[in-house]
Amino acid sequence: MKDEIMFPVYIRSFGSYLPKRRVTNEELSKTVDTNDEWIRSHTGIGARHLAEDHEATSDLASNAARDAIERSGMNIEDLDCIVVATATPDHNGFPSTACIVQHKLGLKKIPAFDITAGCTGFIYALEIALAFMKDSHMRNILVVGAEKLSSIINWEDRNTSVLFGDGAGCAILSTDESPRHSEDRSIRKHKKPGFIDSLLYSDGSGYKHLMVPGGGSKNPIFGGEVNIEDVSLHMDGRKVYTFAVKAVSDIISELIERNNMQQEDVDWIVPHQANSRIIQAASKRLKIPMEKFYLNIENFANTSAASIGIACAEMQAKGLLKAGDVILTVGFGAGLTYGGNLFVW
């Protein structure tokens, strides 16, 4: 028999972890034909964090999970499930990175699994966890977006090497009571913390625009000399940019309109941190001021499925998230996938 859920599913806390090594544009320009001015003007990126060779995606994810647990005031043993969104698993799918995270956190007899939805992975994972909690006995689920993108980057390719960083961001979804349930939100339309809506979409016709061509069942690599271009991330920047601007604009508009809201009802928009020019273009198209978008790409670059979780954790740490705030997340990535979540903090 399922336990009765007393409170709606809400995000109890965020967490994050960034590797200690920080690489600035100036440092990168010593090995790649580029410079700080070009990178900043084209992407908005100033630096990125890169994992050490011995650090795996599961290490980043585990550290982010511990950060979220500490902020939540709960115990690790209270977790009922782990969902990890990643495009850079510890191993090629066997075992799942989530299972390794489960082991590193000292947990047993709970489900743990990976999902792959590119940079939209965190948004997909939140909706999957939400569905689990609505139809099961689970009360606390850890959702992690974690990436070691440096492991699939060709560092001689200036078109991709300047764009990405490593890190992990996570959220704990809960149905247990939190202090935010009792705080005064009398002036807010949505009075309790919880999810309002989500959108998940994909357009498989654009799968070649962002991919690693080698490896996998289509082009397996067994023995012999491996060409670095075959095992590195490739991106058609122009086509991804065009897709991303439309995807961000469409998701924001649809989430607001189908929930009978106005742009003013949304306190923060937290986009996938891929390129500041994409967000600026969407902001102009929607006539939403840039001040409503939270951006930290300057310090962390594009961390794929980790970026939204990292941004939200930073907002929580800075005290920017207030009880009753309406938050809209929006992402896009390989697949091509795109989507968004709308929730009350």
Nearest one of 47, 53, 55, 54 to 22, comparing CA atoms: 47
99 part of the active site: no
**Rg of the chain over all Cα atoms, to the nearest angstrom:** 19
pLDDT at 188: 58
Distance CA 36, CA 148 (A): 23
Catalytic annotation, pick one of 25, 63, 302, 341: 302
Distance CA 154, CA 276 (A): 22
What string of pLDDT tens digits covers the 345 residues of the chain? 345 545 689 999 999 999 999 999 999 999 998 999 999 999 999 999 999 999 999 999 999 999 999 999 999 999 999 999 999 999 987 899 999 999 999 999 999 999 999 999 999 999 999 999 988 889 999 999 999 999 999 998 888 999 999 999 999 999 987 667 666 555 455 568 999 999 999 999 999 999 999 888 888 887 767 888 888 999 999 999 999 999 999 999 999 999 999 999 999 999 999 999 999 999 999 999 999 999 999 999 999 999 999 999 999 999 999 999 999 999 999 999 999 999 999
Q: Beta-carbon neighbour count of residue 264 at 10 Å? A: 9
Distance CA 322, CA 325 (A): 5
219 part of the active site: no
Residues 6 or more apart whose CB falls under 8 angstroms from that of 196 comprise 190, 259, 326, 342, 343, 344
Amino acid at 127: E
Residue 280 is encoded by which pair of tokens?
A: 């600026």
Cβ–Cβ under 8 Å, residues 331 and 122 = yes
Count the domains in the chain: 1
pLDDT at 99: 97
- SS3 per residue for the chain: CCCCCCCCCEEEEEEEECCCCEEEHHHHCCCCCCCHHHHHHHHCCCEEECCCCCCCHHHHHHHHHHHHHHHHCCCHHHCCEEEEECCCCCCCCCCCHHHHHHHHCCCCCCCEEEECCHHHHHHHHHHHHHHHHHCCCCCEEEEEEEECHHHHCCCCCHHHHCCECCEEEEEEEECCCCHHHCCCCCCCCCCCCEEEEEEEEECHHHHHHEECCCECCCECCCCCCCCHHHHCCEECHHHHHHHHHHHHHHHHHHHHHHCCCCHHHCCEEEECCCCHHHHHHHHHHHCCCHHHECCCHHHHCECHHHHHHHHHHHHHHCCCCCCCCEEEEEEEECCCEEEEEEEEC
272 part of the active site: yes
pLDDT at 190: 59
Helix axes 97-104, 57-72, angle to 10 degrees: 50
Torsion angles phi and psi, residue 49, rounded to 5: -100, 135
Q: Which domain holds residue 262?
A: 1-345
Distance CA 341, CA 234 (A): 28
pLDDT at 182: 64
pLDDT at 159: 87
Amino acid at 163: L
pLDDT at 185: 53
Catalytic annotation, pick one of 49, 190, 209, 272: 272
Residue owning tokens 């390129």? 275
- In CATH, what number is assigned to the domain containing residue 232? 3.40.47.10
Catalytic annotation, pick one of 81, 99, 119, 312: 119
Cβ–Cβ under 8 Å, residues 287 and 309 = no
